């Protein structure tokens, strides 16, 4: 990372060999300043309050009165708003989970580069979140063909029209749905053209496809088999960088919950889950809601959008709400003629026919998700 700002680090570590390893790695660089290494977990919150580090690193296996997991919880609840990087070993794998105060995970052994990069990303990610400068919204559904790509594209364009600098990411890495929708030539760069080790802002500018509708699009690889070259780590890094460049990021996702899809969802502030009045879609949506809850996603992170809300297929609004356990947040009507034609022309329908009811629905959803107006956008 080209960033030269100094990162003030506080470490909670009681294994001398590990703290020595961290000290050694940090001694040969200047970006991170190590404030102190504390071996006693019970002293960390007070020390953080006093020293005001940019990042706290906690060993998950920290022993003593206040053990690793407890310390992570105390830091999260302290009101200090300092991001926490959790250090672990391969035998104790742990997932990043900002809601639980785990802003990043470092698994031993790691290199100095990994250490510094993780600390830098964690700090800037938290700053961007705190400033509320960027909203990352994943459009997801555990059922195919419900309108994810169509909604992601039009939602991004609607946010762009609201004056937000907006990026759209084609997270359907295998089929590149947006590439197909926009009829982008195969030689246009994709997420694969980003360097895997040190992604910088200038690299991103070179690979983003500028759509005439005013948004920047990060395309999926041009061929199916290339999708597996993109790792979860790559997408995490890419999103954390894009967060600094844009005010809104919309992600089109595939139906399968792969490791990469989960990384996209993890990195999102909001998961816009698309449902339709179709029993299989509803069934899968319930199953995924349970999975989301067990990963620790809060109810507030997931929002439900009922697409083709005027085609109920014999299922009532109340039945749908009962099945998914809450009232859907948004509704969007069906408009076969406009939507299909606009899609076939690679045009956003919010531009092709801004006054159509379906376009108004998308704008209402965009406004609510951008945080400009409170409240849901369900039509009554
Ligand atoms: N509100 C709507 N009214 C009319 N047609 C719609 C609407 N939403 C989506 N469609 C149509 O439904 C079809 C599927 O949409 P889309 O490709 O966006 O779904 P998807 O969830 O991305 O599918 P996949 O699972 O294959 O990625 C398209 O032909 C699209 O034009
Ligand atoms: Mg799609």
34 and 20 belong to one structural domain: yes
Note whether residue 77 is domain-resident.
yes
Give the nearest ligand 1 atom to 177 CA. Answer: 27
242 and 162 belong to one structural domain: yes
CB of 145 closer than 6 A to ligand 1? Answer: yes
Q: Which of the listed residues 131, 166, 189 is the one where a domain comes to its end?
A: 131
Q: Residue 313: which domain range?
A: 135-369
Q: Which of the listed residues 108, 131, 154 is the one where a domain comes to its end?
A: 131
Ligand that comes closest to the CA of residue 274: 1
| Confidence (pLDDT) at 2 | 42
**Which one of 150, 169, 284 would you pick to mutate in the ligand 1 pocket, going by the greatest count of ligand atoms within 8 A of its CB?**
150
| Confidence (pLDDT) at 127 | 73
| Confidence (pLDDT) at 379 | 37
Strand-strand pairing, 248-252 and 209-210: unpaired
Note whether residue 1 is domain-resident.
no
CATH code (residue 283) = 3.40.50.300
CB of 255 closer than 6 A to ligand 1? Answer: yes
202 and 289 belong to one structural domain: yes
Question: Within 13 Å and on the Cβ side, how many CA atoms surround 183?
Answer: 7
Closest by CA to 102, choosing from 272, 243, 266, is: 266
| Confidence (pLDDT) at 201 | 67
215 and 331 belong to one structural domain: yes
Closest by CA to 104, choosing from 125, 128, 90, 89, is: 125
251 and 103 belong to one structural domain: no
| Confidence (pLDDT) at 362 | 97
Note whether residue 142 is domain-resident.
yes
Alpha carbons 26 and 76: distance in angstroms, whole number: 25
Q: Which of the listed residues 112, 131, 150 is the one where a domain comes to its end?
A: 131
139 and 204 belong to one structural domain: yes
| Confidence (pLDDT) at 62 | 97
Ligand that comes closest to the CA of residue 308: 1
270 and 342 belong to one structural domain: yes
355: its two tokens: 């006054």
171 and 84 belong to one structural domain: no
Give the nearest ligand 1 atom to 254 CA. Answer: 27
Note whether residue 143 is domain-resident.
yes
Contact between 252 and 272 (Cβ < 8 Å): no
Note whether residue 378 is domain-resident.
no
CB of 332 closer than 6 A to ligand 1? Answer: yes
CB of 144 closer than 6 A to ligand 1? Answer: yes
167 and 281 belong to one structural domain: yes
151 and 241 belong to one structural domain: yes
53 and 189 belong to one structural domain: no
Ligand that comes closest to the CA of residue 178: 2
Measure 362 CA to ligand 1 centroid, in angstroms.
Answer: 14
Closest by CA to 307, choosing from 277, 285, 284, is: 277
Give the DSSP letter string of 349-366.
HHHH-TTSHHHHHHHHHH
Note whether residue 61 is domain-resident.
yes
CB of 39 closer than 6 A to ligand 1? Answer: no
Measure 65 CA to ligand 1 centroid, in angstroms.
Answer: 55
Ligand that comes closest to the CA of residue 365: 1
CATH code (residue 54) = 3.40.50.2300
Of all residues in the chain, what percent carry a pLDDT higher than 90? 69
Note whether residue 11 is domain-resident.
yes
Note whether residue 374 is domain-resident.
no
Q: Print pLDDT tens along the chain (380 aa).
A: 444 558 999 999 999 999 999 999 999 988 999 999 999 999 999 999 999 999 999 999 999 999 999 999 999 888 888 999 999 999 999 988 877 889 999 999 999 999 998 998 888 777 766 666 789 999 999 999 999 999 999 999 999 998 888 999 999 998 889 999 999 988 999 998 887 666 666 777 789 999 989 899 999 998 888 888 888 988 988 898 888 788 899 999 999 999 999 999 999 999 999 999 999 999 999 999 999 999 889 888 999 999 999 988 889 999 999 999 999 999 999 999 999 999 999 999 999 999 999 999 999 999 989 864 333 334 33
Give the nearest ligand 1 atom to 336 CA. Answer: 4
Alpha carbons 265 and 104: distance in angstroms, whole number: 15
Q: Is the pTM of this model over 0.75?
A: no
83 and 150 belong to one structural domain: no
CB of 359 closer than 6 A to ligand 1? Answer: no
3 state DSSP class of 298: coil
The total of structural domains in the chain comes to: 2
Relative orientation angle of helices 259-266 and 232-245, to the nearest 10 degrees: 30
CB of 281 closer than 6 A to ligand 1? Answer: no
Q: What is the pLDDT of residues 190-219, one digit of tens each?
A: 998 887 666 666 777 789 999 989 899 999
Give the DSSP letter string of 4-27.
---EEEEEE---HHHHHHHHHHHH
Closest by CA to 324, choosing from 274, 365, 368, is: 274
């Amino acid at each position: 990372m080209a960033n030269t700002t100094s990162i003030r680090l506080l470490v909670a570590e009681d294994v001398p060999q590990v703290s020595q390893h961290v000290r050694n790695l940090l001694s040969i660089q200047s970006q991170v300043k190590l404030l102190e290494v504390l071996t006693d977990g019970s002293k960390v919150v007070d020390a953080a309050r006093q020293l005001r580090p940019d990042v706290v690193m906690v060993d998950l296996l920290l022993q003593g009165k206040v053990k690793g997991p407890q310390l992570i919880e105390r830091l999260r609840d302290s009101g200090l708003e300092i991001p926490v990087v959790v250090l672990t070993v391969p035998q104790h794998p742990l997932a990043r989970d900002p809601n639980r105060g785990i802003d990043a995970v470092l698994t031993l052994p790691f290199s100095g580069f990994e250490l510094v990069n993780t600390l830098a990303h964690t700090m800037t990610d938290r700053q961007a979140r705190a400033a509320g400068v960027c909203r990352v919204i994943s459009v997801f559904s555990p059922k195919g063909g419900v309108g994810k790509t169509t909604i992601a594209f039009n939602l991004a364009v609607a946010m762009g029209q609201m004056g937000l600098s907006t990026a759209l990411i084609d997270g359907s890495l295998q089929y590149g749905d947006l590439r197909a929708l926009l009829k982008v030539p195969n030689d246009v760069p994709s997420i694969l053209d980003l360097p895997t080790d040190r992604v910088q802002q200038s690299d991103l500018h070179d690979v983003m496809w500028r759509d005439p509708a005013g948004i920047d699009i990060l395309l999926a690889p041009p061929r199916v088999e290339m999708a597996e070259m993109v790792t979860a780590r790559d997408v995490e890094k890419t999103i954390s960088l894009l967060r600094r460049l844009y005010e809104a990021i919309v992600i089109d996702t595939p139906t399968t919950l792969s490791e990469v899809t989960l990384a996209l969802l993890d990195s999102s502030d909001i998961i816009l889950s698309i449902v339709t009045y179709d029993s299989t879609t509803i069934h899968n949506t319930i199953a995924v809601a349970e999975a989301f809850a067990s990963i620790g996603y809060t109810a507030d992170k997931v929002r439900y959008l009922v697409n083709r809300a005027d085609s109920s297929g014999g299922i009532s609004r109340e039945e749908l709400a009962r099945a998914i356990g809450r009232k859907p947040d948004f509704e969007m009507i069906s408009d076969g003629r406009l939507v299909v034609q606009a899609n076939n022309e690679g045009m956003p329908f919010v531009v092709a026919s801004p006054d159509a009811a379906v376009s108004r629905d998308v704008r209402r959803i965009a406004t609510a998700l951008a945080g400009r107006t409170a409240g849901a956008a369900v039509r009554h």
